[in-house]
Chain A
Amino acid sequence: MKEKSSPNPPAFLVKFLGWISPNHLIEGILCDLEEQFYDELEDRGVFRARLRFAWNAFRLIHPVILFKNHFYHRSTFTIMLKSHFVVTARNMMRNKFYSFINVLGLSFAIALAMLVVLFVRSEFSRDQFHKNKDSIYRIYTQRINLSSNEVTRTSATTSIPLSETFGEEFVQIVQNTRFGSNSGIVIKDNQPYDEVVNFFDPDFFTMFSFPVIKGNSEAPIKELNDVVLSEESAKKYFGDSNPIDQVIKINFNSKVKDYRVSAVVNSKSNESAMQFTMAVHIEQFRDVVGEETFNSPFYGLVDNLIQLTAGTEPANFETLLTESYNRGQDNSETTNKVFLQPIASVYLDTNVPGSLLTTSDPQNTYILMGLAILVLVIAVINFITLSTGHAMNRMKEIGVRKAIGAIKSQLRVQLIAEAFFISIIAGLVGVILAIVLIPYFNDLAGSALNFEFTLFEATLFVILILMISMFSGLMQAGLLVRIKASDAVRGKSISVKSGRSFLGKGLVILQFTLSIGLIIGTMIMRNQLTYLSELDLGYEKERLVQISTNNPGDEEASRQLLDRFRAAVGSNPSILSVAGTMNHPELPWTRLNFPQEGGDVEKLFYNQVDPYYLETMGMELVLGNDFNRTQTIENNIIVNEAMVRHFGWEDPLSAQIPGKNFKRSHKIVGVVKDFHFGSLKDKIEPLILSTSIKSIDDGVAGLSTYQWPPMFNQIVVKIGAGEIQPVIAYLDETWQAVNSGYPLLMTFVDDLLEAQYASETRWRKVIDSASGLAILIAWLGLLGLTRLSVQKRIKEIGVRKVLGSSIKDVILLLSRGILGLIIISNLLAWPIAWWLTNRWLENFAYKIDVSLITFGLVGLAVILFATGSVMVQVFRTAASNPIKALRYD
């Protein structure tokens, strides 16, 4: 045999075999395999020998080999695992109270954590389902003043021709679509329905991946008269029958057309920022805004969305778009910047105002995440303090284990195993709770989560369980395994007590700090939101209704409708006043841009009203007069106090709104007391009220609005005292008489405002519930802890009583400790809560003063409540006969 030159079996396979087989077997196995290898080598050559060797190696991946390998090393571990399980189960049964607190607290915390993670995932994964999501961008623009270099306007809505112009100019744009939105009246079977209709380019459904359920899946809005329905609206209009190729009529601004249903799509309303129930071709938007506006580059009316070719760098492309955009604008004082925002980040971005796409404030989500973590921390602290406190009672068991040779790592394993078993039980209960609670959670948070046990949920579950059990197990282990066996068996635990109580006290303080902070935070949020809901709006929202004029077409038509209606209801004594208005609380108000000398732009809100508006709304004039009711004086305007402050006018009635474009003069006839017309979060902005746009339109260049052209989109009606139902019936009847064929779309303004705060109210409820849960769990923990400490000192209490202590002394003695901890916690919690609540309140222009009284009251309440529940427990022990405690010693 020529050993040196002869080939050997593949080294990696030898290594692999060494790795899979147990140490004591490997030599015999390799010896045999190599012998066969060399025999084969001589008979049939290297290749066959190697092949056979590899096959043999593969065949050895067999349970007999693999299990032999590790069982010897792990056997004590696995045997002990079973014992740990039994011991845990016995301990849990023996101490039902603590087990109950532990498991219940943890289960709720785990359930909340899982729900919140699901919620956060759904919030952060909006518009992730589009195949092209990485190459689709929403265009938004900023206007920058060249002299001051300040951003004067940021707008998510851009002009209607924008994306088309860009699409024709740049080859980097593969597809583009507009996202427009307007109300329209759908007429089916002669029955009118008020509906929000969206306007898309045909590219919309090829850019985005909304699944087409029925109908034309290639090009759902190809023809001008195609209409695409969401599943919900298909159901609403056609029930179970097939909607495809059915015809419905839609009325935009009194232009009624037939539309053919071309497709039904899943609009994924909980997965996308682009929400729609009914969509038609963008060309139909001409009917809404008029030919001129449709082709004008100056009005921001739609969201423009583009898809770029692969490899186009958005940052570089933004520069190209900006250049092209500014070419069309002849302005030496301002410049514009075009930005591209990835579609997936639109939903959580509330910094680009005015978008027609749905956005959500991520702040609420972060608050909820923080709360879930707090609840989890509080429950884990309960778990640790109760288990260690309770393990002190098991000192003997630990002592015996150590005495018969348990090493530290084994005790550690035992404690982690125990924590693990309890966490698993809590986790399973938590999952059940999560499943049970998910509808309530959806209700509160306005989400559409469902709990399916997929890989994601399973991983989440495992991670939570592992985190909880490792953390609490190791904490306990750190506290308990240092005990000397002899001390433990004799029941002496002094050496460890100081360490334990230091850490234990730290944990209790942490828990109280969190609870106090939470209570203060919840109180302040609650106060602030109540304050907002009770804020003086500057007008009387009670018994005020608004009626939609259903897009009468133009200003003149709306004025005639208003006059007819006013004349018809004029005789009814229950109707105090009727007025027309262009803007209403449901949508942001029209904002006009007035260019100034020097390049600045003054952005002032505008509302077109009729002379009865102030009276109907119950607004007060602080200066001057109301509009002239007998004749329309075109140049008359009324401004609000914010306007006077804004320009610093000393004599508003002789002032002029500044602007370089103004050719005519206007007359400020009155100043109205400030009233809220925007979000209550924001300051009241300068506003112009006028009966005719001609008063100031010569000074305007550009605007942002949901309502254009100016006309009376709503009629407001003030109803007098008395039964409301007959008045509604009367209004309906009158409406049918003056505007037949259109439904009476009537809303009470106070209901409307309430609906606007629905999301705030909902969030308040979510946050209230979560902090309530946290506080409940913390309180349960406190109960468990005091019961433990009382039990530990039961003999001491007995002795004290025998020697003449009164019940009062004993209670004071035992409550003193907890009182100290709570006071420290208060001192820690106050500054943190102060800082956090003030940061939150910065979001509001009108806010409550955070008073220290709230802090003091919460602190006092916690002290009373906690010491109260401690005292009740202590009293039971203190009042009992000392003989009971001492009898067995």
Chain B
Amino acid sequence: MKKSYLGEFEETVLTMVGIIGEEAYGNRIVGEVKEKLERTVNLSAVHITLYRLEDKGYVRSNMGGVTSSRGGRRKRFFKITKSGVALLKELQEQRTRLWKLMPQLNFQFS
């Protein structure tokens, strides 16, 4: 498989989709990011990233049922795929590996 790289924002969005689980959608992701990372992100940017991730095969989407809210529009729900999970995991391991190679700065300063 071709090695895929994710941008920082893409990784954040993908992780959030993973955390939320079944019913991740744009606005909820914005909310979660704000709550967990104390960071405000743009909704449209999240959408664009979600479609990009879908093209790469890391998330899958389907339309939800009609909600009670205005206009009766349906939500598009995103779910992380297996390759998405695998990628996150790989990225995590990579980072851990690198972290271990880091000279132990703590020693020198303490």
A residues bordering B, Cβ < 8 Å? 3, 25, 27-36, 38-39, 55-60, 62, 64-65, 68
B84 at the interface (CB under 8 A from A): no
B26 an interface residue at 8 Å Cβ cutoff? Answer: yes
Interface of chain B residues 39 through 61 with chain A (CB within 8 A): 42-45, 47-48, 51-52, 55, 61
Residue in chain B with minimal CB distance to A56: B44
B45 touching A59, Cβ below 8 Å = yes
Task: For residue B79, give the distance in angstroms from its CB to the closest CB of chain A.
Answer: 14
The listed residue (B26, B52, B61, B67) touching A64 by CB distance below 8 A is B52
Tell me which of B12-20, B69-77, B102-110 binds A. Answer: B69-77
A28 engages B74 (CB within 8 Å): yes
- Residue contact A31 to B76, C-beta cutoff 8 Å: yes
How far apart are the CA atoms of A562 and B63 in the complex, in Å?
108
A588 to B47, CA, bound (A): 81
Partner of A32, one of B27, B48, B52: B27
Q: A25-B51, A28-B63, A32-B47 are in contact. Are A38 and B42 (CB under 8 A)?
A: no
Chain B neighbourhood of A29, CB < 8 A: 26, 47, 76
Residue B30 at the chain A interface, CB threshold 8 Å:
yes
Q: Taking beta carbons and an 8 Å cutoff, which residues of B are in contact with A?
A: 25-27, 30, 42-45, 47-48, 51-52, 55, 61, 63, 67, 69-71, 73-76
Chain A residues with CB under 8 Å of B74's CB are 27-28, 31
Q: Is the CB of B73 within 8 A of A56?
A: no
Contact between B73 and A65, CB atoms less than 8 A apart: no
Q: Which of A3, A29, A55: most chain B CB closer than 10 A?
A: A29
- The answer to whether A27 and B73 touch across the interface, beta carbons within 8 angstroms, is yes
Contact B43 A25 (CB under 8 A): no
In the complex, the answer to whether B43 meets A64 with C-beta atoms within 8 Å is no
Q: Are B44 and A34 in contact (CB under 8 A)?
A: no
Q: Are A65 and B76 in contact (CB under 8 A)?
A: no
Q: How far is the CB of B17 from chain A (nearest CB, A)?
A: 14
Decide if B69 touches A62 in the complex (CB within 8 Å): no
A27-B63, A32-B27, A36-B30 known; A60+B73 contact, CB < 8 A? no
Are B51 and A33 interface neighbours, CB within 8 A?
no
Which one of B30, B67, B70 contacts A38 once the chains associate, using CB atoms below 8 Å?
B70
Given the complex, which residues of B lie within 8 Å of A27, measured CB to CB?
Answer: 63, 73-74, 76
**Interface pair A28/B75, CB less than 8 Å apart:** yes
In the complex, the 10 A-B pairs of residues with the closest C-beta atoms, listed nearest first: A28-B76, A59-B44, A32-B26, A31-B73, A56-B44, A60-B44, A32-B27, A64-B48, A35-B27, A31-B75
Give the Cβ gap from B87 to chain A, nearest Cβ, in Å.
Answer: 19
Q: Across the two chains, which residue of chain A brings its CB closest to B47? A: A29
Task: Kindly provide the distance from the CB of A347 to the nearest chain B CB, expressed in whole angstroms.
Answer: 58
Closest chain-B Cβ to A570's Cβ sits at a distance in Å of 102
Q: Determine how close the nearest CB of chain A comes to the CB of B69; give it in whole angstroms.
A: 7
In whole angstroms, how far apart are the Cα atoms of A62 and B50 in the complex?
13
By the criterion CB–CB under 8 Å, are A36 and B25 in contact?
no
Considering the chains assembled together, what is the distance between the CA atoms of A219 and B71 in angstroms? 73
CA distance A39 to B61 in the complex (A): 24
Contact B26 A68 (CB under 8 A): no
Find the residue from B27, B30, B47, B69 having the highest chain A CB count within 10 A: B47
A36, B63: Cβ atoms closer than 8 Å: no
Residues of A within 8 A of B76 (CB): 25, 27-29, 31-32
B69: nearest chain-A partner, CB-CB: A35
With A55-B42, A56-B43, A59-B42: A32-B51 Cβ-Cβ less than 8 Å: no
Q: With a CB–CB cut-off of 8 A, which chain B residues contact A64?
A: 48, 51-52, 55
Which of A39, A55, A57, A65 interacts with B48 by CB under 8 Å? A65
Contact of B70 among A3, A32, A36, A58 (CB under 8 A): A3
